[in-house]
Structure 1
Amino acid sequence: MRIAMTEPRLTDSELPELFRTADTASLQGQRVYIGATKIRLSLAVAAAVFAAVSIRVGDRWDLAALFVACAFIATLMVEFWLLTRNPERDWYDGRALAESIKTLSWRYSIGAAPFILSSPDMEAERQFIQEVQKLIDEAPADSIVISDPVRVTEQMRSLRKKDLELRKRVYLESRIQDQLEWYSSKAKFNSRRARSWRLALISIEGTGIIVALLKAGGLINFDLPGVLAALLGAGSAWFAVRQYEALARAYKFAANDLSTVHSRLQCVEEEDVWARESADAEEAISREHTMWRASRGALSA
């Protein structure tokens, strides 16, 4: 059953402003880090290509060697910039804060523990703000700039005031089903990418064997094996950065977990049971994100 347009929803745009601030910081950090990684690996391959040739200018200078030096200098500059700018930290910390704010917002809005409906409205809001403040205090001060006061949105208040049946329907469709579809699609996407990259790396390795034998037999003079070795190293590094296989497994696990959660929540009819079960559902969603951060070597928020 689809939610009517007149019924309350809770989209990302209706969460506290802090969620969007952290989400934007995370996406920006991810774009910058991935972009810099692409540049760094491309420069490494370019250096291998120029190292394999010789472009003489007069009797002294080798233009190809100068290009190799320039490529290494550029790579070094990118490395220093990544070290000082640290966009990877913005990516992880921003995502941790954004997802934590989202979880607290949904808990408050549907009456999940610890924001049970038996608590007075002002007390529940005060508790929500206190929980958010704890997250802010734990977040690195220079990763995310907060420009808007922490507050409960009108959409969150509106949903919280509805009866259990409506809150359950909204939560199952707009939160659980949405997350289930997202994890399922991402699991399939990462599985396809993992297979494609594995085949690509195997192709490079096979080609490397052939050209190495051809060079050993004197059939080619160009250092193509060295170029392929650099290309293989860059491809392997990119494959490790993207973690397609690990993410595919984690997303499959999360999708299966949420499928069970969805079925269990449909049977809830008492308010106290709902407060407990919906809180457990949010724990299941948070658990996947914690695993993602751990797989990337980041500290849990």
Structure 2
Amino acid sequence: MEQKDYPGLYRAADNASISAQNAYLRSVQFHIFTLILGAILAINPLPNTTYSLINAFVFLVALGVSIFIASKRYERGWYSARAVAESVKTATWRYMMRAEPFLDAHSVYEVNAVFRNMLRGILTSNNQIGDLLNGDDCAYEQITPEMKSTRAYDIDHRKNFYLLTRIDEQRKWYAKKSKHNKKRSLQFFILLVLLQSIAIAFVLLRISFPEWKIWPTEVFVVAAGTVTTWIQLKRFQEIATAYALTAHEIGIIRTKLDEANSDELFSDFVRDAENAFSREHTQWIAKVEK
């Protein structure tokens, strides 16, 4: 399933989430840059007026960026739009697999009506992101041709499609992301230890060489603080653990597919699988409500 095969609401929310996330992370990165630059400029032992004004300006920019981040609240748009996107994606797969609440009815139009009402409910519950859902994505179909054709498959074809395109794809995604975040957690921990060690070394060297006037200790202290902030922001280890557990849970659920040899049992299987996938979606909602 490509992005174009999902409802227009998913595409709009997904793009909005990515855009807000990028804006938030770029703002934080620029804030970190200005703080470190200001600390570097501050180590000059004999600053003149112009130099001091430049240094003050850099810290003023850092202050302005922090106020900008707090006022724009990009992270709220990021989390809210992601929650909408994941809710719509889960509903889409339930629809295509004829799972509860989109079981067979007398007419597919009845099922389509249930799906539209669910999308309307998701959108109504998250109307605070309305200003983010702009662009061409708003004009795309909410029930795409791919969704309709997949729903028309017989149960064996749907099971195989769900296994390859949803179960295995999600399992690989969670496993890959877990490995990536674990690696990044180790890298940033090593960087944090290195920066703190250098700061300690400069403090000790200052005792041995008191005649030296320039000591960049504060630069490494600030840098260590920004690394700590970035680690807390990205939550590498927490995400690595959560994604690893989800990947294992998906693997366990996968073994039950052969037992889902009727529409009702397959509906139950899809429900359990989508509940596992939506765990991340639940975390996004928890972030929004904090």
Q: What TM-score do the two structures reach when normalised by structure 1?
A: 0.89
Find the partner of 1:142 among 106, 110, 131: 131
2:7 paired with 1:13: no
Give 2:177's aligned residue: 186
**Counterpart of 2:242 in 1: which secondary structure?**
helix
SS in 2 for 1:43: helix
Match of 1:43 in 2: 34
Q: Which residue of 269, 275, 299 maps to 2:289? A: 299
Query: CA–CA distance in 2 between the matches of 1:116 and 1:55?
Result: 77
1:64-116 Cα offsets, whole Å, 9 max, x none, are x2232111211122123223322212211111111111111110001111111
Extract structure 1 runs of 4+ deviating beyond 3 A. 54-57
Report what 1:229 is aligned to: 221
- Mapping of residues 80-119 of structure 1, within 5 Å: 80-118=67-105
Assess if the C-alpha contact under 8 Å between 2:38 and 2:55 holds in 1.
yes
3-state SS of 1:247 partner: helix
For the 8 Å contact 1:47–1:67, the answer to whether it is kept is no
Counterpart of 1:98 in 2: which secondary structure?
helix
Q: Does 1:243 align with 2:235?
A: yes
Determine the structure 1 residue equivalent to 2:263: 271
Matches of 2:182 and 2:43, distance apart in 1: 35
Residue 154 (structure 1) shift: 1.4
1:74 to 1:120, Cα distance in 2 relative to 1, 3 A? same
Amino acid of the structure 1 residue aligned with 2:147:
M
Equivalent residue number for residue 289 of structure 1: 281
CA deviation map 1:220-253 (0-9, x unaligned): 4213221111111111111111111111011101
CA contact (8 A) 2:79 2:284 kept: no
The percentage of counterpart residues that share the same residue type is: 27
* Alignment counterpart, residue 164 of structure 2, candidates 173, 176, 193: 173
The counterpart of 1:68, out of the listed 51, 55, 60, is 55
Aligned to 2:117: 130
Contact 1:254 1:288 in 2 (8 A): no
**Cα distance in 2 for residues equivalent to 1:292 and 1:127:** 25
Matched, 1:206 2:197: yes
Equivalent residues of 2:87, 2:281 under 8 A apart: no
2 CA distance for matches of 1:91 and 1:291? Answer: 13
How large is the Cα RMSD of the aligned pairs? 1.8
Equivalent pairs counted in the alignment come to 285
Deviations along 1:142-167, whole A, 9 cap, x unmatched?
33347337631111111111110000
3-state secondary structure, aligned to 1:173: helix
Distance 1:206 1:282 in 2: 46
Q: Which runs of 5+ in 1 are unaligned?
A: 1-9
Offset at 1:62?
5.6
1:4 corresponds in structure 2 to: none
For the 8 Å contact 1:18–1:148, the answer to whether it is kept is no
What SS does the aligned partner of 1:142 have?
A: helix
Q: Point out the more displaced range, 172-181 or 137-146.
A: 137-146
Per-residue deviation, residues 248-287 of structure 1 (Å, max 9, x unmatched): 0111011111111111123310111111221121111101
Contact 1:104–1:128 (8 Å) recurs in 2 = yes
Q: Is the 8 A contact 1:43 1:74 kept in 2?
A: yes
Uncovered stretches (5+) of structure 2, i.e. residues with no partner: none
- What residue number does 1:6 align with? none
Deviation at 1:191, TM superposition (A): 0.4
The residue that corresponds to 1:7 in the other structure is: none
Q: Is the 8 A contact 1:111 1:160 kept in 2?
A: yes
CA contact 2:35–2:62 (8 Å) conserved in 1: yes
Which protein has the bigger helix share? 2
Whether the aligned pair in 2 keeps the contact of 1:23 and 1:98 (CA below 8 Å) is yes
